[in-house]
Structure 1
Amino acid sequence: MSTQDERPENRLRRELPAELPAGQAQATDTPEALPKLTGRQRLVKGLWPPHVTRAQLIVALLLFGLGFGLAVQVASNSDSDSALRGARQEDLVRILDELDDRTQRLEDEKQGLEKQRDELENSSNQAEEARRQTVEKERQLGILAGTVAAQGPGITMTIDDTKGTVEADMLLDAIQELRAAGAEAIQVNGVRVVAGTFLSDSGNRVSVDGNKINAPYRFKVIGKPQDLEPALNIPGGVVQTLEKEQATVTVERSDKIVVDALRAAKRPDYARSSSQ
């Protein structure tokens, strides 16, 4: 018995699922049916929400800290070099000469110490030589400590502050610049400047080691004038800073400066010589 339903193609049709309508098949199977995303939407979907591991966070913090440190260093170097960028050629030459002079002073001091050592080693009367050097050293230390008067070549700097704008920190900058240039003795308005000298503002006046002084401020400095005066006049230095505050600064060289303001010798409360 052979019927139409028993044909192979009819049996195959009964076993397959029913065909979908043409419109429905196209809507579910083709890529055009999926929602279309713009490039920006795909970027946002890939970046948010962020998936940051602990290691990535630590690395990011370290890189941020490194970048911040480099930025601060570059800014600091830029500020310190800004005054020199606009300097004239003769000013730069003068600054280099000043650095050479400082190096030469250090070399001379080194040679002097080596000479003292050789004299102690080679002297036939070492005890007498040691006493002589002790007296000389005591005199030098007395000058540095302000317990004895001193005289020698140097400069006189006068700061006329009619506007009352000069403050203690500006005078302290002048003292530090003079020391760096090789000043051996400094006196400000009758007050001897020593290693422990401090300056402070006291109303409209300046106090040096507790002694109030008035303008004009007169600095008497012993040292090499060829080093002291250029150190005050470098671009962005003491003189320019004071002139920006409407103060008048005059610097005069002299072959003989007398620093006669004295300080009482103070015995330390705790420090003792290690040889005792």
Structure 2
Amino acid sequence: MNEHEHDASTRPAVSRPRTAPEDPPTAGLRRELPAEVPARASAAAREDVPQEEPAGPVLTGRQRLVQGLWPPRLTRAQLIVALLLFGLGFGLAVQVASHGEGDSALRGARQEDLVRILDELDDRTERLEDEKRGLEKQRDELENSSDQAEEARKQTIEKERQLGVLAGTVAAQGPGITMAIEDTNGTVEANMLLDAIQELRAAGAEAIQVNGVRVVAGTYLTDSGNGVDVDGNKITAPYRFKVIGKPQDLEPALHIPGGVVQTLEKEQATVTVERSTKIVVDALRAAERPDYARSSSR
């Protein structure tokens, strides 16, 4: 045994601590990428755990719009504006409907009836033009007269006479018509006679008398048993109208489609209208002095 062998055998043995075997190279690589394992684990967890169903059905765009609009959330100002717009729309609808009814009545009229209506409108326009020319003439006379005071007095007297005719305080005569209404069934009512008076006034009637009662601006009619009260005076059928005005305007106004004569005939009444060159309206009304109103002229 050589020296080296002696030394090795005689040298006390030194104990070395045992170490765990080294990990394979792949283990060190996994520790360098720690996020890869949790990512795979979370993916596996998502695959194992069942997904929760949506809370409710998916709403369409229209459904979301309806949910946003209803129930409405209005302020007081918005509510007031909405009510005003509703009232305006309702009024316009009623007006359009009323015009539509009038248009339908005209569409159903005969050609001769339409011609008569147009003639009546032309006559009314002509009357208004005559009245305008008369007023302009009075103005010119007052401006050009050398004695304006005397001219003003004459015009005042003439105006008083005209107002007396309209107020029923003086008698009147002139061309016009007479109308007789026979009511054997008692179906004629006060509102029908009032419609006749209003139609005659619109056609240019200047003085009207019914069964001895003078009709003026403030005249009222009411039903009274088997007759009609005119300003508190009881009258019964037959109802006789005496009207002063232009006969060519008064008679056609009563015969227009849907007018006075047609309405009365539907009630089984008989209506007779005659023209005359002289009608006398002699029923008078007492002049009434107002209690409080006084002339403002000085």
Q: How high is the TM-score relative to the length of structure 1? A: 0.85
How far did residue 57 of structure 1 move?
5.2
Higher alpha-carbon deviation: 135-144 or 221-230: 135-144
SS at 1:264 equivalent: coil
Counterpart check, 1:206 vs 2:228? yes
1:175 corresponds to? 197
Asked if 1:105 corresponds to 2:127, the answer is yes
**Is 1:6–2:24 an aligned residue pair?**
no
SS at 2:275's partner residue?
strand
Larger Cα Rg: Structure 1 or Structure 2?
A: 2
CA distance in 2 between partners of 1:61 and 1:194 (Å): 43
Task: Tell me the residue number matched to 1:221.
Answer: 243
Closer, same or farther: CA 19–113 of 1 in aligned 2, 3 Å:
closer
Distance 1:94 1:104 in 2: 15
Would you identify which runs of 4 or more consecutive aligned residues in structure 1 move more than 6 Å? Answer: none
Question: CA RMSD, aligned part only?
Answer: 2.8
Structure 1 position 52, deviation (Å): 3.2
2:255 pairs, out of 213, 226, 233, with 233
Of 167, 178, 192, which residue of structure 2 is paired with 1:156?
178
Q: Which residue of 1 aligns with 2:278?
A: 256
Residues 178-204 of structure 1: per-residue CA shift (max 9 Å, x gap): 111100110000101111111111123
Q: Structure 2: where are the runs of 5+ without partners?
A: 1-20
Take 2:48 and 2:96, find their aligned partners in 1: how far apart are those partners? 67
Which residue, 20, 23, 28 being the options, matches 2:51?
Answer: 28
Summarize the Cα distance change of 1:24–1:260 in structure 2 as closer, same or farther, 3 Å threshold: farther
For the pair 1:94 / 2:112, whether they are aligned, the reply is: no
Aligned with residue 99 of structure 2, among 70, 73, 77: 77
Which string of whole-angstrom CA distances, capped at 9 and with x for unpartnered residues, describes residues 165-184 of structure 1?
21111111111111111001
Q: Distance in 2 between matches of 1:63 and 1:24?
A: 62
d(CA) in 1 for partners of 2:116, 2:228: 32
The CA distance in 1 between the partners of 2:109 and 2:130, in whole Å, is 30
Superposition deviation, residue 18 in structure 1: 5.3
How many positions carry a matched residue from both structures?
Answer: 271
Look up the equivalent residue of 1:123 and give its one-letter code. S
Write the letter of the residue equivalent to 1:6: A
Cα distance in 2 between the residues matched to 1:110 and 1:14: 108
Q: Distance in 1 between matches of 2:170 and 2:87?
A: 53
| Aligned-partner Cα distance in 2 for 1:129–1:57 | 64
1:244 alignment counterpart? 266
Q: Distance in 2 between matches of 1:105 and 1:94?
A: 17
1:102 maps to amino acid: R
Question: 1:56 Cα shift?
Answer: 6.2
Partner of 2:8: none
Deviation at residue 22 of structure 1 after TM alignment: 8.1
In structure 2, the CA distance between the partners of 1:34 and 1:24, relative to structure 1 (3 Å rule), is: farther
Residue identity over aligned pairs, in percent, reads 74
3-state SS in 1 of match to 2:51? helix
Deviation at 1:14, TM superposition (A): 5.0
Q: 1:240 to 1:35 in 2, by over 3 A?
A: same
Partner residue, 2:153: 131
| C-alpha displacement of 1:144 | 1.2
2:91 alignment partner AA: G
Greater displacement, 7-16 / 137-146: 7-16
Matched, 1:68 2:90: yes
Residues 1:218 and 1:24: Cα distance change in structure 2 (over 3 Å):
farther
The Cα of 1:106 is off from its aligned counterpart by: 1.5
Could you tell me which runs of 5 or more consecutive residues in structure 1 were left unpaired when the two chains were aligned.
none
